[in-house]
Amino acid sequence: MTDTAPQQFNFKAETRQLLHILIHSLYKDREVFLRELISNASDAINRLRFEMLTTQDVLDPKADLKIHITADKENGTLTITDTGIGMTREEIIDHLGTIAQSSARKFMEAAKDKSVDASGMIGQFGVGFYSVFMVADWVRVTSRSFRPDAQAVTWYATGDDSYEVGAAEMTERGTRIEIKLKEDAAEFAEEYRVKNIVNKHSDYIGFPIYIGAEEKPVNKQTSLWRTARNEVKEEDYKDFYRQTTLDFEDPLLHIHMVTDAPVQLYALLFLPAKSERNMFSLRKDDGLKLYSRNILIDEYNKDLLPEYLRFVQGVVDSEDLPLNVSRETVQSSGLMPKLKKVLTNQVIKELESLAKKDVEKYNSFWSEFGVYLKQGVAASPADTETITPLLRFKTNLQPETWSSLEEYASRMKDGQKVIHYIVGEDSKSVLRSPHLDSFHAKGLEALLLTEPMDSFMLMGLRKFKDYELKNVAGAEVDGEDQPRAESEAEKIPEGDFNSLVERFKQVLGERVADVRASRRLVTSVARLVDADANSNPDLQRVYKYLGREYEIPKKVLELNSSHEILKNLLKLDAGSELGNIVIEQIFDSALLVEGIHPDPSSMAPRVQQLIEAALAGK
C-alpha cells in the first residue's frame, strides 16, 4: 500500500468534543470497540448483498462474503477486513470524517443541560467506529468501493484534532481497518481474547468471521431464536440452554416467539428448573440477553420483563430497537414498554397453559418460583389481576396439595361469602392454631400462608372475584354459624367463669387488652385476637419482616369456657402459685402460636415447674 500526497482535514470543534465524550464517557467496557467494528463490517456486507440484488456490475462479484480478523501480538496491531460494499474517497470522508455535524451542537447543548435526557438524541449519531480510539494509538482504514472503476482510498487518524485521506493500493473489494493498540490495550492483540469477544458479542452475525489462520469461522452465524420453530428439535433447545447457562438440569419450559406486530421481535425464553443458580452458572445476574440484528446489546437487560419474572432466562432480538451510540443502552422510547408488554403477556400465557396441561410440572415451578409471583402481587398492583390465577396455596383441609383460588372457590360451602386464610410461621404449627378450631369442626377451608412474602402479598391481594379475603385470626368470621362442641351444661357456670376471668386479668395485667369468653374455640384452651376490629395483623407482620420498630398492639385473650384445663384451674386456690403459673403458660403458649412471643426460651423454667407439679400429683 502506498500513500500519495495525503490531504489533511480538521475535525470540527463540536465533533472533537463529541469524540471525547464517546471515548471517555459513553462506553463502559473497552472491548465493545471490536463489536462495533464487526457490526460495521456486517452492515457493509449486507449493503453489498442488497446492491447485488439489482446489479452484478460490482468488483469481485464472486468473492466470498466474510470478515477476517488478524491479531499481531508481536507488533501490537489488530486488523479487521471485510468483503463488503467498500467506500470511495468522498464516502470515506463523509462516513469517517464527519460526526453528524448538523446535530452535534444540539447534542452538546442537551448534554450540558442536566435536566434534559440526552440519551434520546444519541441514536442519530452513527459513530460507533470512533470507540476504537479507546484502545488505539492510531487507526488506518483502507477501502475499495464495489464500483469497478472506483479507486482505493486510505484514511488515517490518531484521535487528535485532524485526520488524513490519501490514495491507496488495494485490488480487492471491501474495507481493511488496521489498529495500532495502546500499551495498556495489548490484550486485544491476543487471538484468544479476540475470539472470546466475538463469541460474546458477535456470535450470531450472519457472515463467517475468521481469526488468524483458522480455516473455520469462529462464530455460529445462525441464531436459534431466528430459526423457524418447525426446524428446531427439542434437544436443540436444551443444548442451547445448557450452553448459555451451564445449568445441569433441563429447563421446565421454553418459549420460542416470533412476532411482527405490535413490535418486531424474536425471543427464546426458558423457565429454569431451580431458582438457585449452581456455582458454575454462566449467568451471574438476572436479566435477558438483548440483541439487535444478532448483535449483543446488553448481557443482563432488566427492562424486558417485570421484576416478578426476573427468573426467566433467554434471548430477545429486535431489529426495531433504537440504540444509543455505544449500543450499550437502549434509548428511552415507546418501544421498550411495548416489548415488555408482549413478552410479559406471552410468559403469563405459557404459565397458564402449563398449569392446565401439566399440573405436576407447574407445581414444581410454583415450589421454586411462587415467591416471585407473590412479590409481583405486592409490588405491582396493576398486575395483580393477571398474576392471581397463577397463585397456588395449601389449605387446612388439603395441606399436602396446591390449590388455585379458583379451585378453593369451587369447594366453598353454600352461603360462604369470603375466602378465609391464616398466617403463621410454618404449615405444621399453623394447622394446630386455635383460630382453626371451628374450621376443623365444621369442615371449613382456610388458606395456609406460612412464607414471609405472604404478608406482603396480602397488602395487594384483597379480593378474588367477588370474594373478600379475610384472616381467621379476626374476632369473628362474618356470615358463618359457629360450631359448638359443648352443650350449655358443659360450660363453666357464668359466675365461676367471671371470677376466672378476673384472675387472668390480675395475673397478666397490662399485657392484655382484655380477657373474655370465646365463641370460636372448640378444642383449644385460649387464643389471642386483636382488640380493635379495624387493626391489621398482616401489616404487623410486614413491619416485623422489614425489621422496623413497631409495637404490636395489646391483644384480647379469649378463653374456652368449656375446656378441662380451665375447669381444673378453678379447683385450685385463688392465690395458689401453681394457678398463676398455669395462667402464665396459657398466655405464653398463645403468644407462641401467634408467632409473636418475644423470648420463647423463657418458658423453659415454667414448663419444668408444671412437669414437677404434674408428677407430684398436684
Cis previous bond, 262, omega within 30: yes
More confident residue, 5 or 508: 508
Domains of the chain (ranges, CATH numbers): 4-211 (3.30.565.10), 225-356 (3.30.230.80)
Measured between alpha carbons, how far apart are the two ends of the chain, in Å?
110
pLDDT (mean) for 404-422: 94
- DSSP code for 22: I
pLDDT (mean) for 94-103: 64
Which 3 state secondary structure label does DSSP give 253? strand
- DSSP code for 481: P
Using only C-alpha atoms, the chain has a radius of gyration, in whole angstroms, of 36
Cα–Cα distance for residue pair 90/139, rounded to 1 Å: 19
| pLDDT tens column, 159-215 | 888 899 999 999 999 999 999 999 999 999 999 999 999 999 899 998 999 999 999
Least confident of 163-172, 324-333, 413-422: 324-333
The reported pLDDT for the residue numbered 3 is: 46
| pLDDT tens column, 509-533 | 999 999 999 988 889 999 998 877 6
| pLDDT tens column, 261-302 | 889 999 999 999 999 988 778 888 999 999 988 888 888 999
The answer to whether 209 and 70 are in contact (CB under 8 A) is no
Cell 463490517 belongs to which residue? 41
551 pLDDT more than 50: yes
The reported pLDDT for the residue numbered 111 is: 47
**CA distances to 60, 90, 315 from 173, in Å:** 7, 16, 35
The rounded Cα 219 to chain-centroid distance in angstroms is: 29
Cβ neighbours of residue 437 closer than 8 Å, sequence gap 6 or more: 520, 521, 522, 523, 524
475 pLDDT more than 70: no
Cα–Cα distance for residue pair 172/145, rounded to 1 Å: 9
- DSSP code for 289: E
DSSP alpha helix (H) spans, 550-576? 564-571
Cell 431464536 belongs to which residue? 225
Q: Residue 488 is placed in which grid cell?
A: 350449655
Packed helices 13-21 and 101-112: angle between N→C axes, nearest 10 degrees: 60
